[in-house]
Structure 1
Amino acid sequence: MAVSSSFLRSKRFLIIVGLYVAGILIIRLNGFGEFRHADVNTTGRTLPVYRPPMMPGFGLESLVMVAGHAIYVSGVWTRESIYNESNWFLEQGQAGQVSTFIEHMKTGVEAAATDSMSLLIFSGGETRKGAGPRSEAQTYWLVADALGWFGHPQVASRAFTEEHARDSFENLSFSMCRFRELTGRYPSNTTIVSFKFKKRRFLELHAEALSLPKSTVHYLGVDPPIMVEATSGELSSAAVPFEQDPNGCQHTILTSKRAKRNPFARTIPYPAGCPEMSGVLLHCGNSKFSGQVPW
């Protein structure tokens, strides 16, 4: 008996629909597309958070951010080679600071080791044309790994990179966004590791520009042995411009630095991974962002 073409089409349609529904059920049973609630501040407010199946930092609560300053260019990862300054791409004024950069890494790892609920982020982009497309963040992660995580190997599974920051404001703001990408929430506490002389810039300018609660932001500073070279220009080339331009988006000194520190024309992906930060990240003006922030 001949079967009508309309019947066959209807049967194929039902089979396709059935397979589609079965696929959705399988995905749901395997945990894909699961929505959870994650705290985003200390006042009890919660934010619905989409949890991808491979979110590696899910459940972690606090952020330790180490700001990058230089790039290692050797392919040899012995301790002797790492401490040899000729194997680093250093800018003028950075001579004698490699041991301090490594101390920053160590300080960050130790801070993360004392808090099992913390996530460590090394922040810094591909900022040096002469170093090739290597990021400061990758350098710091690889150096810490080569040096055995300074005696705290358990931190390795909680250590990640943020590879787009071009200045200190972006070190902090992009790391907040990266934390959101990795955990599905924003940190309840943030510890910043950098030079001691940059403490005011980070706490009074950048954290303030992001409206971070003061009680949740902490600072660990380690200064280089040669302070004159390191601190020259801190006020005129960084602190004062950021006072006039909190997000660093319009002052000539700050915008020219960002342009110079993006020699490989990387497109900034944020706030794609942290949509709740869109307002504060995209803000540009002479005063700080006054809208809502997710912490």
Structure 2
Amino acid sequence: MSNYPFRPGSPKSFVAYPSGEFDLESGTFRKPRKHRSSSSHPIKMIRSIGNRIQYYCKLHPLLVFVISLSVGVSILILLSLYERGYQMTNNYQNYDVSSSSYPLPNLQNLVMVAGHSVYTSSSCGKVDKEDSWFLESYPKNPGQAATFVAHIQEGIGVAAKDNRALLLFSGGETRREAGPRSEAQSYWAVAESKGWFGQEDLRSRTLTEEHARDSFENLLFSVCRFRELTGTYPQNITVVSYDFKEQRFVHLHRAAIGFPESRFFYVGTPAISTAKVAAQKGEAIVRAQFQEDPYGCRGSLYRKKLGRDPFHRSIPYPNGCPEIEGLFRYCGSAPYPGSLPWPKELN
């Protein structure tokens, strides 16, 4: 048997050397000193840096202000550039995803019929009657509705002769009293009711552009719509409207978008005889306004455009035609200086 009274596992164990420091004077053991935590070092470092910054601010306040201002401006510039780049990339990515295939990729030429009114009748049997269309409050001239139908028929006739042509009726929801109906849809519905004037095969390549609020947007928006539907830009453009608007389209709007004159064509139909003089006077005023403001982005032309958007429709362009985004953003009296996806011609 072992003579040791304490063994491992016994209720009490003997500690031969207690932990701590032995005090010779008192004959007792002291508790060991606890080392200060090193977690306070970063706090001291931060306080030290803060004190130094405060010292330099007091010593050179103007220099510190200039440096701070420069850093702040640089950060703002970088953030704005990043945001702009992100938005453009996001727009293009969304466009690429939605346009992996085009409805009419084989078409090369554009025939655009500019809308002038909204068809409001519940029946398509009276398309040549003035009461079937929304007209201004001034006296309605007999035969005016027939000119709208003539534009539709003329556009169909031109497009039917070219099996590579896309026919677009262009015009937005321009009149509050007419309700949320577009000029473009009105023209398409009339063409449908007339059996496409014997050219029913044209129905599959006739669509609408439903956001234009003036003649310049009729042209520009239709070019973008052509890009959405075909994946390319038109080789040739033919515009159908009143004959007294030819100078406006051919020499002003065409030049504003920089489209070659040799590939731009115009088909004009006459206004009714009783309104021809008044129409020509009004056209002279509008043409002078577009000469000063070719892109319709200032003054009376801009206000008129806003008035023709009673339902505040969001315009999707230029998402469908990113190559001419700059043309949509441009506002100036000189021709657009940026690059375009068609060759420019000197006017």
Number of the residue aligned with 2:183: 136
Number of the residue aligned with 1:177: 224
Percent sequence identity over aligned pairs = 49
Which amino acid in 1 is paired with 2:283?
E
SS at match of 1:129: coil
Q: Is the 8 A contact 2:127 2:149 kept in 1?
A: no
Query: Matches of 1:122 and 1:253 in 2, distance apart?
Result: 25
Q: Is the 8 A contact 1:127 1:166 kept in 2?
A: yes
Query: Matches of 1:263 and 1:106 in 2, distance apart?
Result: 29
1:229 offset after TM fit, Å? 3.1
Number of the residue aligned with 1:156: 203
1:231 offset after TM fit, Å? 2.5
SS at match of 1:120: strand
SS at match of 2:124: coil
Residues 1:232 and 2:281 are matched in the alignment: yes
Distance 1:54 1:82, change over 3 A: farther
Query: Matches of 2:239 and 2:208 in 1, distance apart?
Result: 14
Which of the numbers 287, 295, 302 marks the counterpart of 1:247? Answer: 295
Query: Matches of 1:123 and 1:89 in 2, distance apart?
Result: 16
Number of the residue aligned with 1:105: 152
Query: Matches of 1:87 and 1:101 in 2, distance apart?
Result: 11
Structural mapping, 1:210-225, within 5 Å: 210-225=257-272
Which amino acid in 2 is paired with 1:89?
F
Query: Matches of 2:134 and 2:328 in 1, distance apart?
Result: 30
Which of the numbers 119, 123, 128 marks the counterpart of 1:83? Answer: 128
Distance 1:94 1:215, change over 3 A: farther
1:230 offset after TM fit, Å? 2.5
Query: Matches of 2:97 and 2:282 in 1, distance apart?
Result: 43
Highest relative contact order (Cα 8 Å, sep 6+), 1 or 2?
A: 1
Q: Is the 8 A contact 1:93 1:229 kept in 2?
A: no
Query: Matches of 1:292 and 1:93 in 2, distance apart?
Result: 46
Query: Matches of 1:229 and 1:54 in 2, distance apart?
Result: 47
SS at match of 1:141: helix
Number of the residue aligned with 1:278: 325
Query: Matches of 1:120 and 1:232 in 2, distance apart?
Result: 30
Displaced runs of 4 or more, over 3 A: 49-54
Compare CA radii of gyration and give the structure with the larger one: 2
Distance 1:155 1:291, change over 3 A: same
Structure 1: stretches of 5+ with no match in the other structure:
1-48
Query: Matches of 1:199 and 1:118 in 2, distance apart?
Result: 21
Which amino acid in 2 is paired with 1:244?
E
Aligned residues: 243
What are the Cα deviations for residues 90-121 of structure 1, in whole angstroms up to 9, with x where unaligned? 12476331111110000100001000000000
What is the TM-score normalised by the length of structure 1?
0.79
What is the TM-score normalised by the length of structure 2?
0.68
Which of the numbers 174, 187, 200 marks the counterpart of 1:127? Answer: 174
Which amino acid in 1 is paired with 2:254?
A
Query: Matches of 1:277 and 1:271 in 2, distance apart?
Result: 7
Query: Matches of 2:281 and 2:140 in 1, distance apart?
Result: 11
Q: Is the 8 A contact 1:94 1:230 kept in 2?
A: no
SS at match of 1:65: strand
Q: Is the 8 A contact 2:129 2:146 kept in 1?
A: no
1:191 offset after TM fit, Å? 0.3
Which amino acid in 2 is paired with 1:149?
W
What are the Cα deviations for residues 183-239 of structure 1, in whole angstroms up to 9, with x where unaligned? 000000000000100000001000000000011100000021231232231122x11
1:52 offset after TM fit, Å? 3.3
